[in-house]
A and B are shown apart, each in its own frame.
Chain A
Amino acid sequence: MATAEDKMREFLRRQIDPREFDAPAFQKDPFPLYKRLRDDHPVYHDRFHNRWVVSRYWDVDSVFQSSEAYTRGIYEEDGPYEFGSKHVFGPNILEYGVGDRHRWLRNIIAGQFVGQKLNDFLPVIDMIARELIARLGTGSDGKGGFELVTEFSTQFPIRVISNMLGLPREDEDRFVDWYQALIAGLGFGGEHLARGIAARNEMWEYLEPLIEKRRKEPGEDLLSRIIAAELDGKRMSMEEIKGFVALLLAAGGDTTDKAIANMWYHMLYTRPDQFAAVQKDPELWSNVFTEMMRYDPVVHMQQRRATQEIAMHDEVIPKGAIVLIYLGAGNRDERVFKDPDTFDIFRDDLHMGRENRSGRYKDGKPGHLGFGMGQHFCMGYAMARQEAVIACTHLSNALVNPRPKVEDHPGISSPSIDSGGFRSPQELWIEFDRKAEGW
């Protein structure tokens, strides 16, 4: 029989010290803490940071779905915003919660990233991937080696978006430089932050005359559409347009580049056996994308504010409380996925195809949570998948015998998960024997 002392010990064993969220161990490997949260504290009240945490699959689902009980609107609808003053990107207009204004903003651009509009864009995505692969150097013996993050993945989605926006191609390299400085500023802070803000200011100075020009002579591009969009006779201000562009760079560029790096990391280091299958049948890259978005997605956490009191498990989340949605933990929920800690591109208990906003699929399988769902479901879901799959397919077709350059890799980490930092490898060196015929 358990003595009182055993019970006390068990109770103490289960406690979570909220400072664990700030510890380097958590940024490096959050999964053990995720499991303790799911098992012992499905609704965890973090009194130290003054916030609540949910971590089980169906709880994550329910917070994402319940627009009537939670809002993402951190900035109130009637302002004031101080664009860019506080952070590299600053508050941006898509931070609005539920409502007509959010729907309007979404609908201005949502259509650009799906369906026929996306299909029309595939040749550009294809071309940019090929150009970047052509740039990868090889020695006189044909052998080559490169660092995926700087030479390929952080170059790729930003070029795609800058094309969509209709920015001049000859300025693309400058754009990539600004973007890399911005992203480093977001991720690492300190002197990087100062450089990031300087890059942002330069980029905005560059954009202003371009925005003025498109205002007068609109084209078919995304920037023209954003400028021309109207609601109740009102258009976006210059500051709002620049904020929107910054959002697209962060939401669409930084995430997708890290997705590509995560996919390669898990193929090279976690499942070289499955990588062999993928090289034989490149269509499997689509499965790699899906399983990466479950097992180790780029984005692990999203934040909401409770707009009413919410009873969940044995807790009551008060109105106004900050709620952290650990989708990265929900994705590893053993209540939903078999062997959740195994990376397996052939799993039969995960919806492998394209995601949708409801997170409900006709094959009856649960989907990954990596794009969120509901009101703020990622607008770039179809585009991110296409970009990542095209880039990875071309790369694996182009390189003969691609392999990790070093045996030991420090692994995937995040500068700061609990403030929304993205997870990805900082470096990934790849070697290959030669480029395949035609590349």
Chain B
Amino acid sequence: MARTLKLDLDCCVNAGECYYNHPRLFAMEDDGAPRLLLTSIETDDDLREAEEAIEVCPSGAISLE
């Protein structure tokens, strides 16, 4: 079943770990904020990358629902 990747921009500190490590899922805006490129997590690869991103994010701004 597809899951949804979410970003909490208030919580995010622009650390950038998500978009440097997972450019398939996240992109960097000019102000350093991340933008989601993929919200619906369907394949195993997507899921692995999403979970890794959650792990590397220092502020807990990324979640999967």
Contact = CB atoms under 8 A, between A and B. Distances in A.
Interface of A: 65, 103, 107, 110-111, 114-115, 356-362, 374-375, 377
Kindly list the 3 A-B residue pairs having the minimum CB-CB distance in the complex, ordered from nearest.
A360-B32, A358-B16, A357-B16
B56 to A, nearest CB: 7
Contacts of B17: 357
B39 interface: no
B20 A356 contact: no
Contact of B32 (A103, A107, A114, A359): A359
B15 interface: yes
B40 interface: no
A336 to B, nearest CB: 16
A375 B20 contact: yes
B58 A114 contact: yes
Contacts of B13: 356, 362
Given A103-B21, A107-B21, A374-B20, A357 B15 contact: yes
18 contacts: A65-B28, A103-B21, A110-B56, A114-B58, A356-B14, A358-B14, A358-B16, A358-B28, A358-B32, A359-B32, A360-B14, A360-B31, A360-B32, A360-B33, A362-B13, A362-B14, A375-B20, A377-B16
Given A110-B56, A356-B13, A377-B16, 19 more contacts: A107-B56, A114-B58, A115-B58, A356-B14, A356-B15, A357-B16, A358-B19, A358-B20, A358-B32, A359-B32, A360-B16, A360-B32, A360-B33, A361-B14, A361-B32, A362-B13, A374-B20, A375-B20, A377-B20
A66 to B, nearest CB: 11
Contacts of A356: 13-16
A358 to B, nearest CB: 3
